[in-house]
Structure 1
Amino acid sequence: MSDDNSPDTSLTPQNKYQIGPGLGLLLMGLLYLIFWISPLVYESLTEDLRWSHNWVYSLILITIGASFYQKTVVSRTIAIVQASLMPLTASGAFNTTFMTIVALVILSTWFIVVLIERKNNSPLLNQRISQRTKNWITMHSLIVCWMLIAHMGLVFFIGRLPFESQLDTIGTGLGESIGFLLNLPIERHDLVTYVFDINLIILAVLFGYEQFKVGYNLKNNPWPKISFRFLWITVVLGLVLVPISLQGIIP
């Protein structure tokens, strides 16, 4: 599908209006982060810092969304590393405050790399990797990111939800949290979690489908102005805010 003589479009803008999956994820991540550092949830966070896992999720979405507009090997590789934090955080395997720090470090590293590449007007490792390899990495790295994004919902529904009640009961008897509840709050009664995770899985599927249609996109053809992914991101934001309001988090 590509060869070493194909043009290097690493630093070429994706399209005139910059509309695509990157814009949607970037907006979602920013709004997500703003909400979870706002006074609206201050009481919830001070009472239970395990809710800080939402900080990690938002930083991951921001990094992946931004990397869509920096089509270079190093940028997209960092995005994969950041996206890999999604299943690790969603599984409750690590302290979420620690994971937040890791996500911040990775995002900061990504920004530094982008600044260097933009300043030099040349991607890092540009001369050491063939154009064919660069094309392959920059496209497939996004596919991996879409898959890892879906793990936020998949891990909740498959790895946590079936066992949360049992762990909660045992932990209550012992007087302490056990298992993944050491690092994650109880969410089986949280309507917001269900809505967000279901829609995020749908989004990941749509991302993968449209990425398959676009392929390597060597000519940087414009993405649709109103695509399924952008539409679903808007729907997700709306659906998330409604149940939050119903639960009384927003007065």
Structure 2
Amino acid sequence: MSDEKVKPDTATQNKLVGPGLGLIIMGAAYLVWWLIFIEYAIMDPRWVHNIAYAIIILNVGLAWYHKSPLSRTIVMVQSIMLPIIGSGSFNALICTIISLVILIVWIIVVFRERANGKNMFEEKLSKRGLIWSNMHTLIIAWLLVGHMGLMFFIVRLPLESQLYGYGEFAGYLLNLPPESLEIATWAYDIGLFILVAVILVEQYKMGYNTQNNRWPRRSFWVVIIVMAASLLALAVQSLTVGMDWVEIVYG
């Protein structure tokens, strides 16, 4: 990656628009949505995994605006929860609590760094090491966001019908609900693949961006499109297979 791929841009406006803002909007909207419909998670705690997803996506977006090795490492570690949650290998409620605790820790670290006017552990890294760390920890977090969809399509989807044949809570169904005919899940997870790909292409073109050039806005608009597509898919589902398809399909 090289900064030579992007011409210097001294314009100050619109520098806040980028993947960070998009992920903040996505995570916040995702969180608000599930807090509004929290009764579904209360009736079936397996649905609480969506709150964990929302918290992590929101935090990854926030981390884009705070370049520090510690804060971004915290977000990277938090993002490891995504494939764990997405595979259904661990209790969704516990994962949500852990994700929330990590978010609180991240907020405390950021407030402390900003109050002190310097980032923790920054002096222990060379300038090149600092830039490398700030960029690659966030890249890993973005890749892990994409793993939400990967876990759905590769791990859960092929096994769902077979597992349900053994029982309603067999295998990963103990921690995650059936979603094979959740059209919104399909749209959202496919959209995440596209989003992460666009972000990575933008990152490659921007390089280390030591000149703080304006970030391309394609990823931001992809976020909006993914959210709109997911809502449309939800409407399509309500008009076709319905929201209570599990009882109809699996009995």
**Range into which the TM-score falls when normalised by the shorter chain:** 0.7 to 0.9
Task: State the alpha-carbon separation in 2 of the partners of residues 46 and 107 from structure 1.
Answer: 22
Q: 1:237 aligns with which of 214, 222, 227?
A: 227
CA distance in 2, matches of 1:247, 1:48: 20
Measured against aligned partners, the alpha-carbon deviations of 1:45-78 in whole angstroms (never above 9, x if no partner) come to 2321100000010001011000000011011101
Work out which of the residue numbers 24, 27, 31 in structure 1 matches 2:22. Answer: 24
Task: Identify unmatched segments of 5+ residues in structure 2.
Answer: 3-11, 244-251
Please point out which of 99, 112, 115 is paired with 1:116: 112
Give the whole-Å Cα distance in 2 for the aligned partners of 1:129 and 1:105.
Answer: 27
Quote how far apart the aligned CAs of 1:44 are. Answer: 2.1
**Length-normalised TM-score, structure 1:** 0.88
1:181 to 151, 173, 179: 173
User: Unpaired runs of 5+ in structure 1?
Assistant: 3-14
Q: Which whole-Å CA distance do the structure 2 matches of 1:209 and 1:57 have between them?
A: 23
Q: Does 1:137 align with 2:133?
A: yes
User: 1: distance between equivalents of 2:45 and 2:80?
Assistant: 22
The one-letter code of the counterpart of 1:23 is L
Cross-structure match for 2:121? 125
Runs of 4 or more, structure 1, over 4 Å off, are none
Which position in structure 1 is the counterpart of 2:150?
154
- Counterpart-to-counterpart distance in 2, 1:129 and 1:42: 44
User: What is the percent sequence identity of the aligned residues?
Assistant: 43
TM-score (norm 2): 0.88
Matches of 1:157 and 1:127 in 2, distance apart?
A: 43
The answer (yes or no) to whether the contact 1:45–1:51 under 8 Å persists in 2 is yes
**Match in the other structure for 2:189:** 197
**Superposed CA offset, 1:214-250 (max 9, x none):** 11111111113xx221111010111111222344499
- Give the number of aligned pairs: 230
Mapping for residues 54-65 of structure 1, pairs under 5 Å? 54-65=50-61
Give the Cα separation in 2 of the matches to 1:108 and 1:206. Answer: 29
CA RMSD of aligned residues (A): 1.7
Q: Distance in 2 between matches of 1:205 and 1:242?
A: 22
Matched, 1:107 2:99: no
Q: Report how far residue 129 of structure 1 moved.
A: 1.4
Does 2:83 match 1:87? yes
